[in-house]
């Protein structure tokens, strides 16, 4: 395996949905890389023809950018599409083709010269996993021959979708052993299913459920006799919680373009270093690390976090108060379940973080949405009356970016002291401040144990890590520990150990400093470019912190129409009305800059200016 192969292999071990870029020259080719033990292969041979041959299905080549999005990266190429694998194709040679040919895809008819970038997006595929498990089939009818019984059972699994297209079946030898049948019986059943188009592949190299099922399956579906048992099923009685809980959309898995918000620059994360630390941890793993830990988390990581939040964020706490959670979201969920009952009142900022509102509503809490002004959340007595909990983002208000003034902070703490209410401080991205003095946590000012303080590694490292922390008032620690112990038991221990090393060996601080520099540069590119091209259309906020900023729309343009016009030009902006309960006081857009490189920022600003002109003329 060559260097690219080992790089890919290392990364793929840690990141599902991995995207990476290969920098190539127009006439360059690199060797075929394969590692079947690792279950992956990638190869680029002829750039004018097939650029990738994946000869192992455990990695699925799911997408390559089109020309449009390639331009966002300021690169010269490339347009490629995953070839649609029909049943006629050889199972083991899916390939990616450049389409259209290189010479045709330059926008103005010029032949692009290298260097250029090919973006490959990989997902670890389910197919590899399915054959690692026993396949449990309901083999009931002993009146019919065994091969027929197996055939019926497998066919039903396929038609009911329990065995999805592309799923790999267990080896005939394993099935024979599992069901105590002869291998010949299994082969006969497989052959029959193959002849009818349900399965494909060959004995010895793997048998798979066909990607395209025979017409008969659709016929069966249309007749309505596929799920007789489902149709007769009585309506389920669900809990009140089930009726209130809604799906929070997961992060879209696509490369960042201007102005994707709420994500860090994932392409700059030191994956190789992380891989080294993880590999070392795994090599030296102790049985304790395989066994589990306290519900509150891995003690050395809790110590490292306590160190970090006290030093860098001005939090006052002991290690005992730190719970390692799966991000701020879990901290919110635990808090809501432990301190709120249906009907309780929760105050939050308006506009504010929708993910928090969804948690509170799932519990049946009533939300009071308090307006935000230049000092942060407005704290009128009428707004706070009867509240059990206040959720707030004082360091860098989400989404407006304002940091809460000292008088407001003191006023909020005074409310908590007098009312016995709690304050949840969401410190989701306060590490990033590019000008002015650092803003310490509100928690640090509290002397009454009224504060829950939550932070996350999603924005500082990467979101799929799903690790964060919650600093809990001393008298509530046992409740949180108990709730954790009967739900997740504890956060993933190996990930906690890797993160702990990453922090204690100084990599975390270094990464943070480096990213601060990168993001500051990106923000200044946005501000400068916006001054030149968006003046009179969009006023960018002067808050210099976080991963995103806001722009206030002028000339009567609505944020939804601006977002639509921007999307038509491959620019993402989020209308602030999506974070607002009731009518928004002002029309504005959220613009992310951290995950967008300066060239892409410039393209984004140019396109956004055109988009706003178009939206303005239509309004
Ligand atoms: C304001 C705010 N709080 C909390 C979260 C959730 O963070 P985590 O990934 O740690 O659950 C997000 C995620 O985007 C956020 O924007």
Q: What is the DSSP string of 180-238?
A: T--HHHHHHHHHHHHHTTSEEEETTTEEEE-SS--HHHHHHHHTT-S-HHHHTPPPP--
Residue ending a domain, choose from 450, 472, 496: 496
* Range in 19-28, 202-211, 547-556, 592-601 with the lowest mean pLDDT: 19-28
Q: Is the CB of 353 under 6 A from ligand 1?
A: yes
pLDDT at 566 over 90: yes
The torsion angle over the Cα atoms of residues 291, 295, 299 and 305, rounded to 10 degrees, is: 130
Q: Which of 2-11, 252-261, 388-397 has the lowest mean pLDDT?
A: 2-11
Q: Is 590 in the pocket of ligand 1 (CB under 6 A)?
A: no
Residue 97 DSSP SS3: strand
CATH code of the domain covering residue 543: 3.90.1150.10
Checking if the pLDDT of 121 tops 50, the result is: no
Ligand 1 mean position, distance from CA 377 (Å): 18
What is the whole-number distance in angstroms between the Cα of residue 579 and the centre of ligand 1?
Answer: 13
Mean pLDDT to the nearest integer, 266-284: 97
Are both 162 and 310 inside the same structural domain? Answer: no
Residue 493, both tokens: 């221990």
Whole-prediction pTM: 0.72
398 CA closest ligand 1 atom index: 1
Q: Residue 33 — left, alpha, or beta (φ > 0 → left; ψ -120 to 50 → alpha)?
A: beta
Half-sphere exposure of 212 (CA within 13 A, CB side): 7
Q: What is the pLDDT of residues 244-271, one digit of tens each?
A: 999 999 988 877 899 999 999 999 999 9
- Mark whether 426 and 528 lie in a shared domain: no
CB of 457 shorter than 6 A to ligand 1: no
Atom 10, ligand 1: which residue's CA is nearest? Answer: 327
Distance CA 595, CA 600 (A): 10
Percent residues over pLDDT 90 in the chain? 59
Output the CA–CA distances (angstroms, integers) from residue 73 to 67, 118, 123, 459, 584, in the order listed. Answer: 10, 11, 22, 22, 34
478: in domain: yes
**Average pLDDT value for residue range 170-198:** 87
Nearest CA to 338 out of 370, 306, 365 is that of 365
Domain presence at residue 129:
no
CA distance 467 to 372: 29
329 close to ligand 1 (CB < 6 Angstrom): yes
Q: The domain that contains 411 carries what CATH number?
A: 3.40.640.10
Are residues 535 and 479 part of one domain? no
Summarize the chain as % helix, strand, coil (round to 5). Answer: 40, 20, 40
**Distances, alpha carbon 122 to alpha carbons 15, 42, 48, 127, 558, in Å:** 9, 10, 22, 14, 38
In a domain, 430, yes or no: yes
| 426 ligand 1 Cβ < 6 A | yes
Q: Given the CA of residue 426, which atom of ligand 1 is nearest to it?
A: 3
Of 23 and 318, the one with more pLDDT? 318
Residue 134 lies in a domain: no
CB 428 less than 6 A from any atom of ligand 1 = yes
Same domain, 335 and 440: yes
Angle 493-504/299-313 helices, nearest 10 degrees? Answer: 40
Per-residue pLDDT of 122-149, as tens digits, reads 333 333 334 557 777 776 667 788 888 8
Looking at the fold, whether 50 and 112 belong to one and the same domain comes out as yes
Q: Is the CB of 398 under 6 A from ligand 1?
A: yes
pLDDT category, 162, cuts 50, 70, 90?
Answer: confident
- Do both 84 and 201 map to the same domain? no
- In the chain, the number of structural domains is 4
Between the CA of 246 and the centroid of ligand 1 the distance, in Å, is 16
Full domain range(s) for residue 462: 268-496
Q: Identify whether residues 550 and 432 lie together within a single domain.
A: no
In this predicted model, what pLDDT tens digit does every residue of 87-114 receive, in sequence order? Answer: 333 333 333 333 333 333 334 444 444 3
State which of 192, 223, 254 marks the end of a domain. Answer: 223
Residues 186-201 have a mean pLDDT of: 88
* End-to-end CA gap in the chain: 58
395 lies in the same domain as 309:
yes
Distance CA 406, CA 440 (A): 11
**What would the mean pLDDT of 199-209 be, rounded to a whole number?**
80
**Which residues, at least 6 apart from 177, have a Cβ–Cβ distance to it below 8 Å?**
none
């Amino acid at each position: 395996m060559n260097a690219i192969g080992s790089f890919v292999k290392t990364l793929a071990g840690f990141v599902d949905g991995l995207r990476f870029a290969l920098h190539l020259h127009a006439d360059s080719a690199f060797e075929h890389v394969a590692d079947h033990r690792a279950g992956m292969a990638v190869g680029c041979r002829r750039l004018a023809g097939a650029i990738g041959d994946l000869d192992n299905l455990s990695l699925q080549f799911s997408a390559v950018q089109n020309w449009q999005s390639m331009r966002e990266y300021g690169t010269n190429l490339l347009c490629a599409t995953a070839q649609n694998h029909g049943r006629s194709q050889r199972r083991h040679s899916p390939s990616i083709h450049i389409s259209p040919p290189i010479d045709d895809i330059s926008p103005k008819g010029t032949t692009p010269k290298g260097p250029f970038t090919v973006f490959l997006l990989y997902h670890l595929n389910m197919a590899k996993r399915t054959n690692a498990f026993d396949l449990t089939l309901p083999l009931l009818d002993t009146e019919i021959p065994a091969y027929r019984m197996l055939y019926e059972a497998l066919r039903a699994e396929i038609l009911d979708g329990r065995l999805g297209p592309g799923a790999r079946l267990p080896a005939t030898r394993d099935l024979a052993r599992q069901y105590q049948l002869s291998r010949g019986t299994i082969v006969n059943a497989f052959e029959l299913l193959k002849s009818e188009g349900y399965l494909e592949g060959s004995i010895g190299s793997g048998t798979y459920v066909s990607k395209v099922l025979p017409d008969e399956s659709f016929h069966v579906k249309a007749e309505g006799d596929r799920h007789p048992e489902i149709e007769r099923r009585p309506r389920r009685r669900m809990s009140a919680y089930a009726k209130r809980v809604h799906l929070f959309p997961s992060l879209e898995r696509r490369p960042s373009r201007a102005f994707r918000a709420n994500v860090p620059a994932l392409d700059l994360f030191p994956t190789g270093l992380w891989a080294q630390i993880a590999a070392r941890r795994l090599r030296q793993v102790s049985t304790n690390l395989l066994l589990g830990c306290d519900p509150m988390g891995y003690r050395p990581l809790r110590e490292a976090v306590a160190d970090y939040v006290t030093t860098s964020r001005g939090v006052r706490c002991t290690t005992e108060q730190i719970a390692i959670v799966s991000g701020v979201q879990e901290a919110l969920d635990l808090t809501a379940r432990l301190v709120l009952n249906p009907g309780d009142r929760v105050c939050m900022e308006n506009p504010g973080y929708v993910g928090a509102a969804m948690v509170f509503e799932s519990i049946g809490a009533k939300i009071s949405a308090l307006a935000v002004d230049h000092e942060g959340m407005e704290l009128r007595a009428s707004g706070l009356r009867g509240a059990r909990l206040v959720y707030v983002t004082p360091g860098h208000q989400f989404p407006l970016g304002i940091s809460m003034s000292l008088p407001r902070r003191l006023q909020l703490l005074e409310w908590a002291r007098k009312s016995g209410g709690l304050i949840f401080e969401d410190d989701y991205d306060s590490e990033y401040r590019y000008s002015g003095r650092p803003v310490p946590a509100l928690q640090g000012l509290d002397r009454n144990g009224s504060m829950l303080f939550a932070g996350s590694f999603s924005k500082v490292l990467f979101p799929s890590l799903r690790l964060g922390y919650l600093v809990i008032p001393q008298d509530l620690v046992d409740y949180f520990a108990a709730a954790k112990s009967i739900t997740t038991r504890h956060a993933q221990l190996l990930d906690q150990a890797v993160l702990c090393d990453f922090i204690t060996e100084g990599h975390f601080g270094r990464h943070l400093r480096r990213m601060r520099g990168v993001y500051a540069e990106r923000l200044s590119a946005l501000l400068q470019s916006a001054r030149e091209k968006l003046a009179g259309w969009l006023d960018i906020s002067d808050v210099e912190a976080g991963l995103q900023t806001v722009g206030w729309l002028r000339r009567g343009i609505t944020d939804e129409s601006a977002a639509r016009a921007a999307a038509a030009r491959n620019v993402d902006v989020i209308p602030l009305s999506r974070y607002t309960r009731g009518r928004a006081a002002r029309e504005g857009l959220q613009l992310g800059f951290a995950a967008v490189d300066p060239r892409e920022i410039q393209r984004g600003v140019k396109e956004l200016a055109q988009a706003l002109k178009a939206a303005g003329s239509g309004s």
